Structure 1
Amino acid sequence: MRVPTLRYALLPLFAALALTACHSKDDPSQPGGSTPESAVQSSVELIKSGDFNGLWKHALPPADYATLRTDWATQQKMQPPVTDQDRARFNDTMQQLTGPDAENKLYAELQPKLAMMESKYKDQIPVLISVGEAMMKNAVAQSKSVTAEQKTQVNAALDVLGPWAQQAPWFDAAKAKQTVSIAVDTARKLDLKSADQLRAMDFDTTMTKYAIGYAGLKQLLVNYGLSVDDTLDSIKVTELENSNGHARVKIDYTLLGKPLSSESKLVQVDNRWYSEDMVDNVRQAHQRLSQPASAASAPAVAATSAPFSPVASGTSALAPASAGAGSAPTKD
C-alpha cells in the first residue's frame, strides 16, 4: 500500500511540474505570447531561425499583421518603375556572383586589391572605424524616433562592436576567400533572375529571400569572429513590471563576451502579449500611408526594411512600417 499511496500523493506535484513546463515555452508560430517573457523569447527564436514572416505574424496582433501585408503590397506599387540602368546593373552584379567559376574569378580579382588595401589602409582602419562609430552615435542621438533608453542601449552595443571591428582581420586572405565563397553561395540560393522579378516579389517570397540573405550575413560575421546566434542564445528575459495590460521586461545578453542589457515594453491585446514599440510603429506607419498623397509625399519606411538589432532593443528594432489598427489593449 505504501507505493501506491506515495504515487498518488505525488501526482499533484507531477501535474504541477508538467503544467509549468507547458507554460514556460510558447509556440512561436502563434500570434503573441502567453506572458511578456515568452513573447520576447519566441521572437528571439524566430530571429535566430531567420523566419521573418513568422516573426511579423508572431509579433503583431492578427489584425495588424493582415493590414501589414496589405500595406506592404500598396507600398510596392508606389515604388518608381525599374529602369534599363537598374536592369543592367542588376544583371552585371548577379552574373559576377552566380556565373561559372564565380568564386575563383572574384577572388582572383580581389586578391591583389586586398594586398594593396592592407598596405594602404591597415593603420587607418582603427581611426576610420572610430569615426564611423562616432557618426553612428551622433545619428542615434539626433534621432527623434528613438527613446533615450534605446539610445543608451544602442550606444552600449556600439561600444562593444567598435573594438571588434577595429581588430577584425579584414585583410586576411583566407577569410577573404571564405567571404567570397559565402557571397557566391548566398547569391545562388537567392536565385534572382532579374530586377523586375525582384521588384515584383510578393510579401511571402520577399521574406523567404530575406531569410537566405540573413543566413549569409550571419556566416560572414562568424567568419570575422562575431556570432549572432551566440548572442541570441545568451538572451535571458526577466519581467520587471506588469499591470493594466502593459509590461516591461529586462533583456540580458552577451555580445562578444561582454554582458549587456536592454529593456522592452509589451502590450496585451486580446490576452496575448506583443512588443509595444512594434505595434505602435506599424500602426503609425499605416496612418501615414492612409493620408492623402500630398500629406504623405515622404515615403513610409518599408515593412521589409529589416531589422536587425534584436539585442539592442529587444524585438522593437524589427518594426515593419506598414500595419493597421488592431484590437485595443485589454485592461487587467
Structure 2
Amino acid sequence: MKPKPSASVLRVLAAAGLSLLLLAACRKQAPEELAGAASEPAASVRQLATHLQNNDLVGFARDALPPDVHARLDSAWRAGHSRWPLTELPLDDKLVQMLAALSAKEAEKTLQRSFDRQFARQDRDLKEAARTLGLFGVQYVKNEGDYTQEERDHYAQVIAALGDWAQRAPLGDPALARATLARLAPAARRSGLTNEQALNEAGMVASLQRLTPVFIEAKATFARYGLPLDTTFTDLRTGLVEEKGDTATVRIHYPLGEREIDTVVSLTRRDGRWYLTDYLRHADAVLAAVPAPDTLPPAPAADGEPPTPP
C-alpha cells in the first residue's frame, strides 16, 4: 500500500495548484501588446489613458497639449472663452447645468422623484430609446458634424459599443439611481462649480482638481451599471503604424463594454514631444475664436467715471 501524503504536503500542492491557476488566469487576461508599443508616439497616447485611469485630470490636460498652448487655454478659460479639455466630453455643454442640478438643496430627493416619475422600471422603453439614439448617433458622426475621418471611425465604434451596453444596463432600477445620486450629489456640491463664473474664477487647473471627485464618482456609477471604464483605460493598447518626420499614426485598441474598439489616431511632434493632432486642432480652434484685446468691451466703471478702455 502506498503511503498517504501528509496534510502539509497536500496544503503545499493545493497552494501550488492555486498559484498556477492564478498565473494562467493572469496570462489569459493580460492584453497583448501591439507592434510598436514601445515607440514614443504610442507611449504618449497610452500615458493619457493612464492619467484617466489614475483620475489625474490635471495631468491629462498638462500632457495632452504643449505647455504654451496649455497656458493660453488657461487664460482663455479664466475669461470664459474655453472649457477645454471638458469640451472633449460628450454633452460638455450640459456639464455646468448637471453640476448645478446635483448641487441643489435636497437634490437627491428631487432628482429621485423625477427619476421615479419618468424612468423607474421603464426598462423596455429606455432600451428602445437607447437603441434608437445609438443608431442615430452612429449615422450622425459618420455623415455630419465637423469631424475628421479618424474621429468619425472612432466615435462610430464608441457609440455602437455604448448602445450595446445600454441594452443590458439596468437603467430603470430605482435602487441604483438612488445609490448614484447619493454619491454624485455630494461630490458635485464639494466642487462648488455650479455656474460659469465659478469656473472662470477657479481657472482650468483648479477647476479640474475640483472636478476630480465628480469624475471618480462618474466612473464608479458606470461600473455599477456594468461599464467598468477603468478596465477600458487599463487594457488600452497602442502601437505604431507609421512615423514620418514630425507626424505619426498610432493604432489604439481597447475594450468598451462587450466590444473591442480598434482605431487609429494621428499625432504631431512639437518641441520634441508627441500630441494627438485632433487635440491640437481643437485647441487651435478655441484660441482662434478668443477675441483680441482691442475688440473686448470696455470694463465697467464706477458711477461718474468714464469706462476703462480694454
Is this a same-fold pair by TM over 0.5? Answer: yes
Q: Secondary structure at the match of 1:95?
A: coil
* Higher mean C-alpha deviation, range 225-234 or range 189-198: 189-198
Name 1:59's counterpart in structure 2.
Answer: 64
Name 1:230's counterpart in structure 2.
Answer: 231
Name 1:157's counterpart in structure 2.
Answer: 158
Alpha-carbon deviation of 1:225? Answer: 0.5
Name 1:301's counterpart in structure 2.
Answer: none
Provide the TM-score with structure 2 as the length reference.
Answer: 0.68
CA contact (8 A) 2:127 2:167 kept: yes
Matched residues in 1 for 2:274 and 2:112: separation? 52
Alpha-carbon deviation of 1:132? Answer: 1.3
Name 1:203's counterpart in structure 2.
Answer: 204
CA shift in 2, pair 1:226/1:108, >3 Å: closer
1:51-71 per-position Cα deviation (integer Å, ceiling 9, x unaligned): 222222212112212212122
Given the alignment of the two structures, is residue 38 of structure 1 paired with residue 48 of structure 2, yes or no?
no
Matched residues in 2 for 1:93 and 1:57: separation? 28
Name 1:181's counterpart in structure 2.
Answer: 182
Alpha-carbon deviation of 1:110? Answer: 6.2
Name 1:273's counterpart in structure 2.
Answer: 274
CA shift in 2, pair 1:147/1:228, >3 Å: same
- Unaligned runs of 5+ residues in structure 2 are 1-36, 83-95, 297-310
CA shift in 2, pair 1:181/1:142, >3 Å: same
CA shift in 2, pair 1:198/1:260, >3 Å: closer
CA contact (8 A) 2:131 2:163 kept: yes
Q: Greater CA radius of gyration, 1 or 2?
A: 2
Alpha-carbon deviation of 1:292? Answer: 9.2
Matched residues in 2 for 1:239 and 1:95: separation? 50
Given the alignment of the two structures, is residue 94 of structure 1 paired with residue 112 of structure 2, yes or no?
no
Name 1:285's counterpart in structure 2.
Answer: 286
Q: What residue identity is the alignment partner of 2:153?
A: T
Q: Secondary structure at the match of 2:146?
A: coil
Q: What residue identity is the alignment partner of 1:204?
A: V
1:196-248 per-position Cα deviation (integer Å, ceiling 9, x unaligned): 54553222221112222211211111110001110111111100101111111
Given the alignment of the two structures, is residue 263 of structure 1 paired with residue 270 of structure 2, yes or no?
no
Q: Secondary structure at the match of 1:57?
A: helix
Name 2:55's counterpart in structure 1.
Answer: 50
CA contact (8 A) 1:90 1:195 kept: no
Indicate which of 70, 76, 96 corresponds to 1:71: 76
Q: What residue identity is the alignment partner of 1:243?
A: K
Name 1:80's counterpart in structure 2.
Answer: none
1:60-110 per-position Cα deviation (integer Å, ceiling 9, x unaligned): 112212212122223359xxxxxxxx99x959952124xxxxx5x458746
Indicate which of 117, 121, 133 corresponds to 1:113: 117
Provide the TM-score with structure 1 as the length reference.
Answer: 0.64
Q: Secondary structure at the match of 2:147?
A: coil
CA shift in 2, pair 1:156/1:273, >3 Å: same
Q: What residue identity is the alignment partner of 1:149?
A: E
The sequence identity of aligned pairs, in percent, is 21
Matched residues in 2 for 1:234 and 1:226: separation? 14
Matched residues in 1 for 2:289 and 2:194: separation? 33
Aligned length: 246
* Higher mean C-alpha deviation, range 235-244 or range 211-220: 211-220
Matched residues in 2 for 1:190 and 1:243: separation? 43
Matched residues in 1 for 2:131 and 2:102: separation? 34
CA shift in 2, pair 1:249/1:198, >3 Å: closer
Matched residues in 2 for 1:204 and 1:167: separation? 37
- Unaligned runs of 5+ residues in structure 1 are 1-23, 26-33, 78-85, 98-102, 297-332
CA shift in 2, pair 1:193/1:37, >3 Å: closer
Matched residues in 2 for 1:185 and 1:218: separation? 15
CA shift in 2, pair 1:293/1:225, >3 Å: farther
How much is the aligned-residue C-alpha RMSD, in angstroms? 3.4
